[in-house]
């Protein structure tokens, strides 16, 4: 750990990461000034708490304090091209992210998971697998638990298991996972990263500080993309894939098969698991490979996988009414995630589409046209909400009927009216939630609440009158709050 006494540190951004970093540094004796360009009631409460601990706080800040700083710690939600970041560069203030701070101060090794989709599910699955092998770990990072909040407890851990985003990887310096996992690569966050290739290079930073004895567990297709960009992986590479049988571990008709020396043969039957679909097969493969590196017995890992359920908002069934299943996949904030959700939906026996898709939200500069063929195979109709609904309609209307809805409540009730037994109403937005909701969790909870109210009022009865009377859109899904 560094000696923070008499150090002056600027913390930029007062979301969870910024608050945790400010608190930790102040406890270690640093003089901390925390600033945020926003100002609202929630931040005012945070400000009072930090000031009571001797931390200077400035809200609504559009300029840097005049003081000289030894270091700046930046929250992941702050873009590198933000005006305050540019001013720090002009003043040559060294900058790291909260992930880097937590890494440098932690007392244990870490396992880090990144990728476009599946990070949270895999992170939780790895934690369960480590527990099955008597390894002591805690989850932190992009799951909503800043590493800085766990630094004091890392002395008693075998590993920190970290979900890591591209935003966090932008500001690393020495960050080095003993085991790094890259699940997949698909276009995302194009409103922040200048290109898809640049996004992939940032994801690859997970491995850049690894040594030859560290491990890189990478989806075959993602590895091919990194190699096409000239990215070098210094650690020992193991591959997995639901598509390629050339991977070290691959999916074959529901079986997870290993080609690795000393571990060859069937590992697990996906039919025995509570999660399904090729994307979850890859999440499981990655987690099993982490366990293999740590020499956890396969039987112990299989028991952990068999009992594992995905976290909320990830293809989560929230209800079934008159034979219609309602699936909450609110975490699908990009088209690739929606593709994975649609592929996991079982079609009717005659192969006809049976999904009523609810999609839309805040546009992140992504392209939606590639989903068209899959939409035509799986989707009976799409109910579109939010800022991106016109773009979605332009991309999908040739492949399935598209209908604009004013809000999520209307979308759910309209889909419920049209659904027949054995149909699926799927919330898989392919977009961010921040135009209408606090975050994707809030969006998913509104969906759950509407389904519960439809069930309680019998609103799926085609003769029961207007389903819209069952819920109040103004109280259920309107919020101006933004996630930090």
The reply to whether 138 and 112 lie within a common domain is: yes
47, 66, 93: which is the final residue of a domain?
93
pLDDT of residue 248: 98
pLDDT of residue 480: 34
60, 93, 126: which is the final residue of a domain?
93
The reply to whether 283 and 343 lie within a common domain is: no
C-alpha to C-alpha distance for 15 and 20, rounded to whole angstroms: 9
C-alpha to C-alpha distance for 192 and 166, rounded to whole angstroms: 10
List of residues 6+ apart from 385 with CB closer than 8 A: 358, 359, 360, 361, 404, 405, 406, 407, 408, 411, 429, 436
The reply to whether 247 and 321 lie within a common domain is: no
pLDDT, tens digit (0-9, with 9 covering 90-100), for 263-289: 999 999 999 999 999 999 999 999 999
Tokens of 463: 């003769």
In a domain, 235, yes or no: yes
In a domain, 369, yes or no: yes
The reply to whether 289 and 356 lie within a common domain is: no
Is 0.85 topped by the overall pTM?
Answer: yes
In a domain, 269, yes or no: yes
The reply to whether 119 and 55 lie within a common domain is: no
The reply to whether 271 and 181 lie within a common domain is: yes
pLDDT of residue 481: 34
In a domain, 179, yes or no: yes
**What CATH number should be reported for the domain holding residue 173?**
3.40.1190.10
In a domain, 482, yes or no: no
**What CATH number should be reported for the domain holding residue 450?**
3.90.190.20
241, 274, 306: which is the final residue of a domain?
306
With tokens 């961010």, the residue in question is 432
pLDDT, tens digit (0-9, with 9 covering 90-100), for 337-370: 999 999 999 877 677 899 999 999 998 888 899 9
Tokens of 154: 């890392």
Q: For the residues of 274-314, what is the DSSP string, one character each? A: S--SHHHHHHHHHHHHHHHHTT--HHHHHHHHHT--PPTTS
Domain hosting 320: range is 316-476
How far lies 395's CA from each of 402, 422, 436, in Å? 10, 27, 22
The reply to whether 43 and 14 lie within a common domain is: yes
The reply to whether 254 and 238 lie within a common domain is: yes
Q: Which helix (H) or strand (E) holds 65?
A: none
pLDDT of residue 364: 82
The reply to whether 283 and 394 lie within a common domain is: no
How far lies 155's CA from each of 30, 137, 197, 286, in Å? 21, 11, 38, 26
pLDDT of residue 471: 46
The count of domains in the chain is: 3
The reply to whether 267 and 179 lie within a common domain is: yes
Strand boundaries in 199-295, DSSP class E: 215-219, 236-241, 249-252, 255-258, 265-269
The reply to whether 44 and 89 lie within a common domain is: yes
Stretches in the chain below the pLDDT threshold 70: 1, 190-191, 349, 458-484
C-alpha to C-alpha distance for 44 and 38, rounded to whole angstroms: 10
In a domain, 484, yes or no: no
Q: CB 90: neighbour CB atoms within 10 A? A: 9
């Amino acid at each position: 750990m560094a000696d923070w006494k008499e150090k002056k540190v600027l913390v930029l951004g007062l979301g969870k990461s910024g608050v945790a970093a400010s608190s930790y540094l102040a406890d270690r004796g640093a003089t901390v000034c925390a600033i945020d360009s926003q100002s609202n009631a929630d931040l005012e409460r945070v400000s009072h708490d930090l000031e009571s601990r001797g931390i200077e706080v400035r809200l609504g800040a559009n300029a840097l304090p005049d003081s000289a700083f030894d270091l700046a710690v930046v929250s992941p939600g702050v873009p590198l091209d933000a005006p305050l970041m540019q001013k720090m560069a002009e003043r040559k203030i060294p900058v790291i992210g909260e992930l880097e701070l937590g890494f440098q101060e932690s007392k244990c090794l870490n396992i880090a998971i990144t990728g476009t989709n599946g990070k949270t599910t895999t992170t939780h699955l790895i934690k369960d697998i480590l527990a099955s092998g008597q390894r002591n770990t805690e989850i932190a990072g992009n799951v909503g638990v800043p590493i800085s909040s766990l630094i004091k407890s890392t002395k008693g851990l075998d590993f920190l298991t970290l979900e890591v985003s591209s935003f966090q990887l932008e500001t690393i310096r020495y960050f080095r996972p003993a085991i790094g996992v890259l699940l997949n690569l698909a276009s995302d966050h194009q409103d922040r990263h200048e290109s898809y290739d640049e996004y992939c290079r940032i994801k690859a930073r997970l491995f850049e500080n690894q040594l030859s004895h560290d491990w890189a567990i990478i989806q075959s297709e993602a590895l091919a993309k990194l190699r096409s960009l000239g990215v070098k992986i210094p650690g020992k590479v193991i591959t997995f894939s639901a598509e390629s049988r050339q991977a070290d571990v691959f999916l074959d008709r529901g079986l997870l098969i290993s080609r690795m020396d000393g571990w060859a043969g069937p590992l697990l039957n996906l039919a025995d698991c509570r999660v399904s679909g090729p994307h979850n097969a890859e999440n499981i493969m990655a987690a099993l490979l982490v366990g293999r590196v740590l020499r956890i017995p396969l039987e112990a890992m299989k028991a952990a996988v068999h009992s594992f359920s995905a976290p909320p908002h990830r293809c989560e069934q929230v209800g079934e009414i008159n034979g219609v299943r309602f699936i909450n996949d609110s975490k699908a904030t990009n088209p690739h995630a929606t593709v994975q959700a649609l592929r996991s939906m079982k079609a009717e026996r005659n192969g006809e589409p049976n999904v009523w898709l609810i999609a839309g939200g805040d546009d992140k500069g992504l392209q939606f046209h590639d989903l068209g063929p899959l939409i035509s195979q799986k989707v009976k109709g799409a109910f579109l909400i939010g800022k991106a609904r016109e773009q979605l309609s332009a991309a999908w209307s040739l492949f399935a009927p598209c209908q604009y809805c004013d809000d999520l409540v209307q979308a759910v009730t309209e889909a419920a009216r049209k659904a027949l037994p054995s149909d699926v109403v799927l919330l898989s937005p392919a977009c961010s939630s921040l135009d209408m909701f606090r975050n994707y969790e809030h969006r998913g909870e509104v969906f759950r609440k509407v389904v519960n109210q439809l069930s309680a009022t019998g609103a799926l009865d085609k003769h029961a009158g207007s389903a819209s009377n069952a819920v109040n859109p103004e109280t259920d899904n309107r919020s101006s709050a933004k996630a930090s």
